[in-house]
Structure 1
Amino acid sequence: MNNPRVRRAVRHQPPNPEVEAAPRPRRRRTLISVEQIVDTALSVIAGEGYEALTMRRLAGALDTGPASLYAHVVNKADLDELLIGRLCAELVLPKPDPASWREQIRGVCAQFRDQYLKYPGISRGALAMAPTDLEILRVSEGMLAILLAGGVAPQTAAWAIDALLLYVAAYCLEASIRRQRSEQDDAAWVLDRDELRRRLTAPPAETFPHTTRHAAELTAGEGHDRFDFTLALMIDGLAHR
């Protein structure tokens, strides 16, 4: 299996006990593994951000050449799937409960958020992904089971999962961009609520009556208040449907 695409397909197949038990021919020991690649990539992202992760940068961190990486992963998109799959492996899925399905689905989304925020910008890798990684599918399956247990119709549940995960990824990506900008002195005011409120109340009130009057509401919220609000809005909407 020298073709990396074939190896990728094999990675996404459920384990076969008979094949695992069969004796394998001895092979020359490789210097790196998929697990090492993922570990190192996450370390680079944690320290430098997702944008710093390139195949060349990763190869340098592993003290090897880019060609060695392509023996294990097909391309950057394949690496992204491996990274998101690793984060998904950390998520704990509850047993679906019709009585508490809203809290359960909110809890899974919060776990996703916390995993993404450990690695600045990594949620960008989850966007536009057509996942086949078994850990990603495990989480998708678990979320679908929770929504179905809550009485959500299958089509609605399928699209709701897509919308929820898209929001979580966008929320975390925005947090990463804010963090990056806050490290620049000339952009520090962006995170200064008092300064932002002053800017919202500065325009003529006759031209911007609602903005100037409700500047406090427009800039309100601590921690993940807005995240919790938006999730509740989306999930309550499902319940009403």
Structure 2
Amino acid sequence: MTRRDGTGATGVDPQQLWLSPGQSGRGRKPSFSREEITAAAVALADAEGLEAVTMRRVASRVGAGVMSLYSYAPDKETLLELMVDRVSGELPTADPFTGDWRTDLKAIGHHQRALMLRHPWLPAALHARRTLGPHTLAFLERALAALRPTRLDGAAKLEVFAQLTGFVAAHVAHEIAQATAAQSPDRAAAEARYLAAVAADGHHPELAEALSAPGRPLNPEATFTRFLNRLIDGLDTD
């Protein structure tokens, strides 16, 4: 499932991984399936974070030796590809469209956010992903179908989907970090005092004006919706 190019670098071979999903030829024949291995890795990442996912930890979860695990996932890079595609299978691909492509694209963004909040390791994993598995492709197909009413060409549609996914991943990563920071009141108070001091120093009048405006209630869903609306409503489809 991995390949080596002319420079000696290795990487996941998408055709072998997704179209020929047999054993890699490395390691002993396992007594469990690739799906079980991937499910164990996802459960581990959900519980302890992506950094906790090692071949040894996953093998322990499925009750196998590390060498037998290599038969279906020869390295962590391949395992990560399998994990991303497995959770992407939770995304809906058959709901009817509304007929308004912006509304439909916003729904796609909300589904992506919900998925990433269920699996907080996913935003980071997407940065390392190198290939598109069957579940990811199914959701991409839905996004492209949602964009069919626009005048965008194929390349532009792919760019819009990449832009949307990148925005959602970055927003959710920030959202998770903010939620973690909020658990430390002293840190939040120190940040507020610092910004107040900066706003009062006379060198940042625009920031001072912005901070003096009434704040909005802390509602992560509403904040995401505002940002998402600005992104999609501002898309140029001419």
Structures share fold, TM-score greater than 0.5:
yes
TM-score, structure 1 normalization: 0.77
How many residues are treated as equivalent by the alignment?
Answer: 221
Partner of 2:219: 222
What is the CA-CA distance between 1:72 and the residue it aligns to?
0.6
Give SS of 1:91's match.
Answer: coil
In structure 2, the partner of 1:18 is none
User: Deviation of residue 71 (structure 1)?
Assistant: 0.6
| Deviation of the 1:48 alpha carbon | 1.0
**TM superposition score normalised by structure 2:** 0.78
Q: Please state how far the C-alpha of 1:150 moved relative to its aligned partner.
A: 3.3
What is the SS of the residue equivalent to 2:130?
coil
2:152 paired residue number: 152
Please list every run of 5 or more consecutive structure 2 residues that lacks an aligned counterpart in the other structure. Answer: 4-11, 22-27
Q: Per the alignment, in what secondary structure is the counterpart of residue 202 of structure 1?
A: helix
Question: Which whole-Å deviations, capped at 9, do the CAs of 1:186-219 have from their partners, x for residues lacking one?
Answer: x5445x4x65443322223411222223225596
Aligned residue runs from structure 1 range 86-125, under 5 A: 86-93=86-93, 94-97=95-98, 99-125=99-125
> In structure 1, what is the equivalent of residue 171 of structure 2?
171
RMSD: 3.1
Partner of 2:197: 202
Change in Cα spacing, 1:79 to 1:188, as seen in structure 2 (3 Å) is farther
Residue 84 (structure 1) shift: 1.6
The question of whether the paired residues in 1 share the 8 Å contact of 2:14 and 2:132 is answered with no
Query: Once the two structures are aligned, what percentage of the paired residues are identical?
Result: 24
Asked if residue 211 in structure 1 is aligned to residue 207 in structure 2, the reply is: yes
Residue 34 of structure 2 is matched in structure 1 by: 34
Runs of 4 or more, structure 1, over 6 Å off, are 3-8
Structure 1 unpaired stretches of 5+: 16-27
Residues in 2 aligned to 1:122 and 1:218: alpha-carbon distance in whole angstroms: 34
Q: Give the corresponding residue for 1:22.
A: none
**Corresponding residue SS for 1:149:** coil
Amino acid at match of 1:202: A
CA distance in 2, matches of 1:63, 1:176: 32
